[in-house]
Amino acid sequence: MSGKIKKIGLMTGGGDCPGLNAVIRAATRTALNLGIEVIGYKFGYKGLYKNDFEKLTKQRVSGIQHLGGTILYSSNKDNLFEYEVEEDGKKVKKDVSDIAIKNMKKEGVDALIIIGGDGTLTSARDFARKGVKVIGVPKTIDNDLAVTDVTFGFNSAINVARDALDRLHTTAESHHRIMILEVMGRNAGWIALHSGIAGSADVILIPEIPYDINKIIEKINERHHRGKLFSIICVAEGAVPVGGGVTISKIVSDSPDPIRLGGVGNILAMELEKLVTEHETRATVLGHLQRGGSPSTFDRILATRYGVKAVELLIDERYGNMVTINGDKMSFEHLENIIGRPKFVDPDGELVRTAKSIGITFGD
């Protein structure tokens, strides 16, 4: 019934994200029900290179849907096309992808389901170019992958951020403060935009709309004059002032994408405290809380649909594609059309206009 595919290798790569286990569970169950064997490579591509895997059975994937993280572990450093190895006592970068392909052949793995964000899926595309049968599954809290409406993990992350904004209202109102929440998202403002609207932020700052601090102050003052003696600002980690650059928290030199953003919330808090003397300002950096914990109901369902669809695409021999959701329709798109085309917030789009209509300021 399963045609050409008798054995699948699953892997999770990049930053962890709520819903990874739900995809693993759904894909494994679907494949096993079709008589296809499944193994899970550990630590993403590293497992493929080291041939480190475990057999996935119905029992192994039982009871994991609600768990955060990934039972297969993950890594955002192991690009097998530029892999750091030691040669003659020196560290050099080498293309070791053929070793990974040999390992697959040795174990009789016919195809891979690769669950990851743009870094992981870039390598998936590169394996596809070498003739490996791959299907990508779009994972990231940042929601910045092209073509699909939404990546799994995003909904759970915005729920965490929205909850944080709800809670920050308490102190903001009690102490008449300006409270800033810095959320993740890399160079895309999706998390800030969605959680900011749902969490009743007064100001939302996103990378796609450079901000002018004077516009933020205008908003705070306008609220002050009508008796609202607090303000809530939701700032994306990638937000930039007009004419300025991103705030970098750290360089992870052995990561394919070495820049880690962070710190804009604290910088903004210091600047605002100097300029708005009526209110104290505090910043909270939400960080990895957005990636942790149990996936939301929405993400469990989305991850399940993605996992099932990924196996279906393999059965249909639609290799080299990533599963997508458009409206309520599960579909797919070739990885060649997805990689290198990140999805950003449209500054003139409906959601930004909606937010502006209800008085939310973007600092522009």
The SS3 of residue 288 is helix
Q: Which of residues 256-285 bind ligand F6P (CB under 6 A)?
A: 260-261
A 10 A CB-CB count for 269 gives 20
Nearest 5°: phi and psi at 57?
-115, 170
Q: What is the spatial order of strands in the sheet that 321-326 belongs to? A: 53-55, 37-41, 7-12, 111-116, 133-138, 321-326, 329-334
Listed in sequence order, the residues at least 6 apart from 182 whose beta carbon sits closer than 8 Å to its beta carbon are 235, 236, 237, 262, 263, 264, 265, 266, 283, 284, 285, 286
Burial group, residue 346, by CB count within 10 angstroms (0-12, 13-18, 19+): exposed
Measured from the CB atom, the residue of 202 and 237 that comes closer to ligand F6P is 237
Binding mask 94-123 for ligand F6P (x = CB under 6 A): -----------------------x------
Binders of ligand F6P: how many residues, by CB under 6 A?
13
Q: Would you say 37 or 142 has its CB closer to ligand F6P?
A: 142
Task: Determine the residue with CB nearest ligand F6P.
Answer: 184
Cβ at position 248, least distance to ligand F6P in Å: 11
For the packed helices 297-315 and 20-33, what is the interaxial angle rounded to 10 degrees?
40
Taking the complex as a whole, how short is the minimal distance between the CB of residue 71 and ligand F6P, in angstroms?
A: 19
Catalytic residue among 118, 126, 142, 202: 142
Instruction: Give the nearer residue to ligand F6P in terms of CB position, either 186 or 343.
Output: 186
Amino acid at residue number 189: G
Of residues 54 through 83, those in contact with ligand F6P by CB under 6 A are: 76
Residue 358, token pair as written in the block: 């209800």
Short-list 262, 300, 304, CA closest to 283: 262
5 vs 17 by CB, closer to ligand F6P? 17
In whole angstroms, the minimum distance from the beta carbon of 191 to ligand F6P comes to 7
Contact letters for ligand F6P, residues 171-190 (x by CB under 6 A): -------------xxx----
Find the binding residues for ligand F6P in span 128-167 (CB under 6 A).
140-142
Q: Would residue 52 show up in a list of annotated catalytic residues for this protein?
A: no
Q: Does 209 bind ligand F6P (CB under 6 A)?
A: no
Best CA proximity match to 116, nearest among 246, 6, 256, 237 = 256
- Sites of contact with ligand F6P (CB under 6 A): 15, 76, 117, 140-142, 184-186, 237, 260-261, 291
Active-site positions read 142
